[in-house]
């Protein structure tokens, strides 16, 4: 029976899902988390590994010659040295589309929180502020209507397209920048170059992968091209943004607000400049994590492994 090791299963399944699909396919061992110095030991003798954020490097592959399959419990697969895996005939599969609905919904939730500060106003009411108010209504932050404003999407794959559909439903004009924009998105967004998107958008939302070309895409120069009244949303990858430059833009009122679900080092470190930046909303990388989304992830990961066992790998990267 094939030995299957889950290196860091807690994020995908903190107890509200089942590993039964994998248990039916081999001898399964699940670790909630794996520190780097234990990765080789835990993969020793395994033919299949499942990882979310635990790194599987070329050095680890060299020391684990029996490994034939790596299933990434995520869409991004930069934690695996795919070139080294390919050279050693190790199949690597990811789960490309499980979180489309959840992440696009969350991106817009971040935007709406900036526009209305619903949570802060709820806290104010429960603290007695409304009860003691001489007027029937009060607000502590500017309230922003999105209808008629422009959403700019950097990246126009599944999640960018879904986010664009929601923005259109809110009455926004939608611009998109993507080298790979397809015909399916044309009714939703007008495709423009990056400079036009940055200068014309009231909201810029990031939905592109992290590549050498996109690393640090949002930096001092690109922020300078944005409106000082603009809002930046990042639910993609933390390293798309130069965080020091974003904090500086916020603190000097060169950008109105930002909301990020991802940062460059996760969990966030206490010295991250965004923690003290003005009007910056930070959530702990949870856009993907709705139960329905994680159920799809688990089901697809099992199907990927079944396809590998049948000799027809799918979602191979």
CB count within 10 Å of CB 55 equals: 15
- Strand pairing report for 3-6 and 27-30: parallel
**HSE, side-chain direction, 13 A CA sphere, residue 20:** 5
Q: Is 120 a catalytic residue?
A: no
CB 25 within 8 Å of CB 1: no
Can you tell me whether residue 281 is helix, strand or coil?
strand
Per the residue annotation, which of 149, 158, 237, 296 is the catalytic one? 237
Q: Is 173 a catalytic residue?
A: no
Q: Is 252 a catalytic residue?
A: no
Over the range 269-298, which residues count as b (16 or more CB within 10 Å of their CB) and which as e? eeebbbeebeebbbeebebbbbeebbebbb
CB 63 within 8 Å of CB 41: no
Per the residue annotation, which of 149, 285, 294, 296 is the catalytic one? 285
- Alpha helix (H) residue ranges in 190-289: 194-200, 220-225, 243-251
Phi and psi angles of residue 268, each rounded to the nearest 5 degrees, phi first: -60, 145
- In sequence order, what are the beta bridge partners of 205? 153, 233
Integer angstrom CA distances of residue 275 from 116, 235, 256: 21, 17, 16
DSSP letter (8 states) at residue 212: T
d(CA 141, CA 281) in angstroms, rounded, equals: 14
Can you tell me whether residue 101 is helix, strand or coil?
helix
> Positive or negative CA dihedral for 241, 244, 247, 249?
negative
CB count within 10 Å of CB 142 equals: 11
Catalytic residues: 237, 266, 285
């Amino acid at each position: 029976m094939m030995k299957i090791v889950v290196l860091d299963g807690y994020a995908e399944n903190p107890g509200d899902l089942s590993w039964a699909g994998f248990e039916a396919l081999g001898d399964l061992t699940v670790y909630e988390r794996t520190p780097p110095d234990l990765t080789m030991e835990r993969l020793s003798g395994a033919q299949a590994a499942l990882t979310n954020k635990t790194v599987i490097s070329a050095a680890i592959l060299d020391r684990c010659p029996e490994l034939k399959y790596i299933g990434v419990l995520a869409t991004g697969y930069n934690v695996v040295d795919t070139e080294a895996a390919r050279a050693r005939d190790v199949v690597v599969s990811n789960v490309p589309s499980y979180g489309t609905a959840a992440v696009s919904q969350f991106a817009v939730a971040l935007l709406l929180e900036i526009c209305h500060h619903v949570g802060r106003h709820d806290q104010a009411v429960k603290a007695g502020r409304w009860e003691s108010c001489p007027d029937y209504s009060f607000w502590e932050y500017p309230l922003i209507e999105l209808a008629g404003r422009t959403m700019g999407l950097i990246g126009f794959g599944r999640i960018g397209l879904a986010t664009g559909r929601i923005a259109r439903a809110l009455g926004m004009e939608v611009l998109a920048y993507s080298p790979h924009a397809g015909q399916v998105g044309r009714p939703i967004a007008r495709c423009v170059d990056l400079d036009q998107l940055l200068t014309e958008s009231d909201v810029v939302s990031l939905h592109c992968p992290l590549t050498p070309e996109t690393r640090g895409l949002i930096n001092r120069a690109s922020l300078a091209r944005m409106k000082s009244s603009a809002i930046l949303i990042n639910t993609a990858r933390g390293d798309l943004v130069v965080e020091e430059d974003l904090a500086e833009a916020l603190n000097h009122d060169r950008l109105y607000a930002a909301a990020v679900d991802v940062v460059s080092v996760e969990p966030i470190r206490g010295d991250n400049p965004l923690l003290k930046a003005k009007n910056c909303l930070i959530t702990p990388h949870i856009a993907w994590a709705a139960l329905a989304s994680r159920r799809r992830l688990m089901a697809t990961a099992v199907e990927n492994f079944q396809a590998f066992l049948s000799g027809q790998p799918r979602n191979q990267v």
